[in-house]
Amino acid sequence: MSKLDMIKKIKGGYVVTAETTGRVFGRYRTKPEAEQRLRQIEFFKHLKEGRGKVNKSK
């Protein structure tokens, strides 16, 4: 599933959904707002993954 599949067009705006569960992470009026939120989610998701890998290697 691509990042574009995680942003869905709805009546009145866009919605950011989870890749696997379909959970809604927010509704936004414009696509750039939805894309910004998706970047935030991806940043923290990878930050969390990276932190776990650092702890395991010690």
Tens of pLDDT, residue by residue over 21-34, are: 889 999 999 999 99
Instruction: Give me the pLDDT at residue 17, please.
Output: 93
- Determine the Cα–Cα distance for residues 31 and 54; give it in Å rounded to an integer: 35
DSSP 19: T
Residue pair 18/35 in contact by the 8 Å Cβ criterion: no
Tell which wins on pLDDT, 26 or 4.
26
pLDDT at 22: 87
For residues 1-24, give the mean pLDDT.
Answer: 85
